[in-house]
Amino acid sequence: MTGREVKPVLLTVDDDPGVSRAVARDLRRRYGQDYRVVRADSGQDALAALKELKLRGEPVAAMLADYRMPEMNGIEFLERAMDLFPRARRALLTAYADTDAAIQAINIVDVDHYLLKPWDPPEEKLYPVVDALIEMWRSTGDSPVPEVKVVGHRWSAPSHKTREFLARNTVPYRWFSVEEPEGGRLLDAAGVTAEDIPVVITPTGEVLRQPAEVDLARAVGLSTAPSAEFYDLVVVGAGPAGLGAAVYGASEGLRTVLVERQATGGQAGQSSRIENYLGFPDGVSGAQLTDRARRQAVKFGTEVLSARDVVGLEARGSARVVRFGDGTEIAAHAVILATGVSYRKLTAPGIDELTGRGVYYGSANTEAPACAGQPVYVVGGANSAGQAAMFFSRHAASVTILVRGESLKDSMSHYLIEQIEATENICVRANTTVDAALGDDHLTGVRLRDGVTDTVEELPTSHLFVFIGAAPHTDWLGGVVERDELGFVRTGPDLLVGGERPAGWLLDRDPYYLESSQAGVFVAGDVRAESVKRVASAVGEGAMAVTLVHRYLEDQ
């Protein structure tokens, strides 16, 4: 429905085909330019049509239902229709003998008008009534909702995961809680229950129950299947390094495919504010920066695959083959690994059970409205934690940064420390760790331990955001490329031990600076051993890796 005009609907229901056609004809003649007229021959058919309209996000302005219909009369239909479209205006078509029933309907289901059949001439007996219905509907405001709709529960971890996936992939969506009347109406229209949440309804009316990310990506229009089997360059990971590589690879004529497991931007895409990136003196959010980079890569011809989990890499002659979790694969002349890092897991009782239900890794910006007026706790002392604290300070009553060390000075940029010190509702608790997360179905508090006095304190909160450490996504590379003891991939000079090239290296040259122990496989960004963990350096390494790919291809 996106991209075309959405006309409000005028619905008519009558089991007499002649009357049904006449009503629809008269309505189209007067209102067809601005409204879509839908007619049904029974109450059941009309309800089915309303459910489809509900799922598609199309508004219903008015409903006209015949009183005398078999199986379901007009009053019964309008009563059930109100559950789907409570703001639509309602009129009953009735014969003179049924005026008592019409008056009763006004009291029972809040019918706005009743029309006596026949209504000839319509200019005198039909149109004035419909004009009044439309005017009342307009005054209540019931605009179309062309976005993806998500129905879930605030404290449902799968619901949170779905919202984050859509938000980070810049897919517009509207959130409905199952506890709200409209959420219940959408579930009823979709023919599902609250046990099926999260429920995702696309603008075309497709219903997904607890969708896997790859199914969700496909349903909302993200590309998940490669258009070819062989490329010049496969870039694995769409953080700043991968996006940089994709932009430069595609712009320099390489047929490039960018593969991302979750969402473009990586860990940087979750940063609420980056203020030390060159060219943005007023700062820019990680989502904005990486979205611009994604659009730039696509403009140059990069193919982007979303929600694809890469599980294997191997060399087959001169080809480098990337395997996906579903058993499919793609191949290329060269591969750039830019899989980045993820936040390390916080180990304390209750953390795992409450993740996604009050405990979140990363900034989880979709939770900002729920933090209004509440105390928020942020674990970590690096820039990502400071940026999150500044972001949530605009919503929360207070933000407390929990730091294991003595202060922020050894791990956070000076400009961020100054901003935090100048923000009244942010405080820093040094020498403090999370001893436990408290709560049953969602987080209700945290137990903190003072590292100096070894005392504990329980404090109420519904939101704990974790930004600790960095774990590389390299388990799937075991036995393929050399890694250090922490799992980061070694490249270039780091592979030369005592002047010797890595085992299995067959080329008559040393590995290039960003090349791994597997020739033709390059590494950029945070996943590379000894790399500088900054957005600007990651972008630079992505661009540099493409230059080395060209040099590698010239050697072949």
The reply to whether CATH 3.50.50.60 applies to domain 230-341+472-555 is yes
Residue type, 24: A
Alpha-carbon distance of 324 to 329, in angstroms, equals 6
Name the nearest CA neighbour of 19 among 128, 124, 118, 122: 118
Q: How far apart are CA 13 and CA 88, in angstroms?
A: 14
pLDDT for the residue numbered 490: 96
* C-beta of residue 23 within 8 angstroms of C-beta of residue 39: yes
pTM for this one?
0.74
**Domain 148-219: CATH class, spelled out:** alpha beta
Q: Which CATH architecture has domain 351-466?
A: 3-Layer(bba) Sandwich (3.50)
Cα atoms found within 13 Å of the Cα of residue 500, Cβ hemisphere only: 5
pLDDT number for residue 2: 44
Q: Which amino acid makes up residue 44?
A: Q
DSSP 221-284: T---S-S-SEEEEEEE--SHHHHHHHHHHHHTT--EEEE-SS-TTTTGGG-S-B-SSTT-TT-B
Residues of the chain with pLDDT under 50: 1-3, 145
Note the pLDDT of residue 187. 94
* Amino acid code (one letter) for 244: G
Q: Which residues contact 508 (CB under 8 A, 6 or more apart)?
A: none
Residue ranges of E strands in 302-443 = 303-305, 310-316, 319-324, 329-337, 341-342, 359-361, 375-379, 398-402, 426-429, 432-438
DSSP state of 481: S
Helix (H, G, I), strand (E, B) or coil at 498: coil
Give the pLDDT of residue 545.
97
Neighbours of 436 (CB within 10 A): 16
Nearest C-alpha neighbor of 205 from the set 191, 195, 217, 222? 191
User: What is the number of alpha carbons within 13 Å of residue 245 lying toward its C-beta?
Assistant: 37
DSSP state of 490: P
Residue type at position 6: V
List the alpha helices (DSSP H) in 85-180: 99-108, 122-125, 127-140, 157-168
Cα 81 from Cα 97, distance rounded (Å): 25
CB burial of 80-101 (b: ≥16 within 10 Å; e: otherwise) equals: bbbebbeebbbbbbbeeebeeb
> SS3 for 437?
strand
* CATH C-level class of 9-140: alpha beta
How many angstroms separate the CA atoms of 137 and 88, rounded? Answer: 6
**Are 230-341+472-555 and 351-466 the same fold in CATH?**
yes
DSSP per-residue string spanning 39-56: EESSHHHHHHHHHHHHHH
Domains of the chain, by residue range, sit at 9-140, 148-219, 230-341+472-555, 351-466
CA gap 84, 81 in Å, rounded: 5
pLDDT of residue 144: 52
Under a CB-based contact definition with an 8 Å cutoff, are residues 104 and 135 in contact? Answer: no
DSSP result, 273-319: -B-SSTT-TT-B-HHHHHHHHHHHHHHTT-EEE-S--EEEEEEETTE
